[in-house]
Amino acid sequence: MTLQDFFSYSSNVLLLLNVILYFKGFLKNKKALIFFWAYLLIMLIIEIISIRLYLKREPNLFLSHYYFIAQFICLSFFYLNLFLKKRNSIKYITIFIAFSLLLRYIIWPSLFDKFNLFEIVLTSLILIIYSLFYLFINLKKDIEYSYINIGVLVYILSSMLIFCSGNLMSELSYDVNRYLWTVNSMLSVIFQLLIFYEWYKNLRFSKEVLKIE
């Protein structure tokens, strides 16, 4: 088993674990958590499909577009529910951006086979800005899901560059490519660990149980 396999397996296992663990939050009907759970679930589905395609030796790169747009929508609404509840305009802008990105592929289907730099940078940067703002709020008061927030900041900021260089890298040999995806898997493991840690620290027990203790 190569290093990359190790990282990608463990990140997938952690992802599956987190999907199961965060399902409880979904049941608790906390809006922000529902969006985050949806994000985890979609990531898991995309991951499964991409592995299946990979095993069949079929191209799976087009999934990246679903990945980025879904990530953008879910995490945007996650943050919107956390600290921008009254900003309806931001909701509409988020939906507008997502649709306009999708529209491009309907008009020019050939774009589907490549990484779209504009899409990657736009969606990632907006999420990074949300995350930084949320971190800034943390200066004054305690915030919910601070570890998730740190994970989003660290993972999206650094993985943005990996995906941006994806087009360039795919033209190079597989051996060279592998380094990059190993790093990406490693970052993904860190992200999933932070998500798990958030659950372990703050969501494991419901608040009522803590009070009785």
Partner 1 sequence: MEKLFSEENKIIPIVLSAIFLLLFMAVVLVLFFRFARKKIVEKELEKSAIKLDSQKKILQATIETQERERKRIAQNLHDAISAKLNVVSLHVNMLLDGSLTVNEQQDALGNVLGVTTTVLESSRRIAHDLLPPILDNFGLVEALKELLAEFGATKKVVTQHDINYLTTLTKVEELHLFRIVQELLNNSIRHGKATIMRLQLKDTDGLMELKYKDNGKGFLVKQALKESGLGLKNIKSRVAILNGNVHVQSKLNQGAIFTINIKHNSYE
| Binding interface with partner 1 (CB under 8 A) | 132, 135-136, 138-140, 150, 153-154, 157-158, 160-162, 165, 168-169, 172-173, 176, 179-180, 183, 187
Tokens linked to 26: 């979904």
Q: Which of 58, 175, 89, 81 is nearest to 130 (CA)?
A: 81
CB atoms inside a 10 Å sphere around CB 20: 11
- Minimum distance from residue 78 beta carbon to partner 1 (Å): 18
**Shortest distance in whole angstroms from residue 159 CB to partner 1:** 8
Identity of the residue, 89 or 173, whose beta carbon is nearer to partner 1 in the bound complex: 173
- Looking at the Cβ atoms of 98 and 164, the one nearer to partner 1 is 164
Kindly tell me which of 44 and 162 has the beta carbon lying closer to partner 1: 162
Would you say the C-alpha torsion 129, 84, 101, 194 has a positive or negative sign? positive
What phi and psi values does residue 86 have, to the nearest 5 degrees? -90, 0
19 or 153: CB nearest partner 1? 153
Cα separation of 94 and 123, whole Å? 9
- Asked whether the beta carbons of 188 and 9 are under 8 A apart, the reply is no
Q: How far is the CB of 208 from partner 1 (least distance, A)?
A: 27
57 touches 109 (CB < 8 A): no
Rounded to the nearest whole angstrom, what is the least distance from the CB of residue 209 to partner 1 in the complex?
Answer: 27
Smallest separation (angstroms) from partner 1 to the CB of 154 = 4
Least separation, in Å, of the C-beta of 173 and partner 1?
7
Q: Is 40 helix (H, G, I), strand (E, B) or coil?
A: helix
- For residues 64 and 131, which CB has a smaller minimum distance to partner 1 in the complex? 131
- The pair of three-digit structure tokens given for residue 44, joined into one six-digit string: 């898991």
Site of tokens 């993985």: 159
Report the residue number, 80 or 150, with the smaller CB distance to partner 1: 150
Residues in the chain: 213
Q: Return the amino acid letter for 37.
A: W
Q: Tell me what percent of the chain is helix, strand and coil, each rounded to the nearest 5.
A: 85, 0, 15
